């Protein structure tokens, strides 16, 4: 089995979670019903009843939303395409190939695993990582720089390449602390 990790290409756009949008709309409706009572005093009883009903639904949905976020992974705003392969002589990122001789240095962040608790304590954010915030930065000797994000799971992670990364560490391409962080 060839050792490889999937490359993640993030989109440069903003997306809002559908569950969060639903909660926001419910709370907006409850405030609109309360505001509408002052504009339409003739329908105050009906609007009050509807307002209370919407507030109850909003509270119940918000509790569901907060509790369910403990068990859901963060949403990923992008797509998986291509593979990251680290060999002792070259690094292949999708269609780009970097030989060990043209690389000035590499830096790797590999703290995020799919399904791992991500440390969020805010109620409206999901608590499990989507595993795609990991990246490898490749600095070439000619001054070019490229950053690739990749997906890590418990079974497919950067530690699969520990022998290959040792070569980059010995050649001075990978920093000592960065190398130790990957192996731990």
Q: 101-110 pLDDT, tens per residue?
A: 999 999 999 9
Cα separation, 92 vs 96, in Å, equals: 6
Whole-angstrom CA distances from 40 to 143, 150, 159, 166 are 67, 55, 65, 73
**Residue position matching structure tokens 């001075």:** 172
Which top CATH class is 5-11+80-183?
Answer: mainly beta
Q: What is the pLDDT of residue 37?
A: 87
**Confidence grade of residue 177 (pLDDT, cut at 50, 70, 90):** very high
Domain boundaries, the chain: 5-11+80-183, 18-68
The pTM for the full model equals 0.79
């Amino acid at each position: 089995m060839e050792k490889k990790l999937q490359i993640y290409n993030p989109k440069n756009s903003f997306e809002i979670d559908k569950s969060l949008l639903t909660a926001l709309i419910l709370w907006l409706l409850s405030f609109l019903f309360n505001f509408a009572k002052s504009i339409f005093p003739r329908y105050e009883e009906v609007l009050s009843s509807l307002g209370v009903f919407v507030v109850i639904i909003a509270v119940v949905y918000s509790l569901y939303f907060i509790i369910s976020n403990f068990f859901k992974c963060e949403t990923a705003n992008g797509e998986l395409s291509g593979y990251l392969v680290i060999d002792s002589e070259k690094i292949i990122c999708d269609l780009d190939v970097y030989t060990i001789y043209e690389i000035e240095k590499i830096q790797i962040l590999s703290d995020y695993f799919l399904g791992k608790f991500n440390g969020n304590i805010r109620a409206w954010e999901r608590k499990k990582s989507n595993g795609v915030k990991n990246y490898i930065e490749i600095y070439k000797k000619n001054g070019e720089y490229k950053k690739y994000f990749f997906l890590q799971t418990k079974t497919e992670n950067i530690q699969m390449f520990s022998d290959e990364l040792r070569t980059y560490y010995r050649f001075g391409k990978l920093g000592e602390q960065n190398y130790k962080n990957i192996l731990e």
